Amino acid sequence: METNADGTFFQEDDRVRIKHTGEQGRVNATDGGVVYVLMDGTNETKLFSAYVDTDAYIELVTPEVEETILKREGTRRDKNRPTA
């Protein structure tokens, strides 16, 4: 992530997460105000605004965020696991 006089922007190799689906990927390239995100698992490229704000569709994945996501997913799996 880069911050300059124009604002805060995603940059190449940032790990990001789509807020509404939880899908994760890596910023593969930037071009002006657009970032190209290579999605994990599908290798599909998706386009997003490079500008970081509260209305952005993607967010930076930090180790703390990733740990929270993994804990939440583990809880969901445990609830769906059959009991003996």
pLDDT, tens digit, for every residue of 70-82? 676 666 555 556 6
Q: Does the pLDDT at position 84 exceed 60?
A: no
Dump pLDDT digits (tens) for 39-58. 998 889 999 888 888 778 88
CB 35 within 8 A of CB 48: yes
Contact (CB, 8 A) for 34 and 45: no
- Residue 56: which domain range? 2-80
9: domain CATH number is 2.30.30.30
Q: Is 43 left (phi over 0), alpha (psi -120 to 50) or beta?
A: left
What pTM was estimated for this model as a whole? 0.68
Q: What is the tally of structural domains in the chain?
A: 1
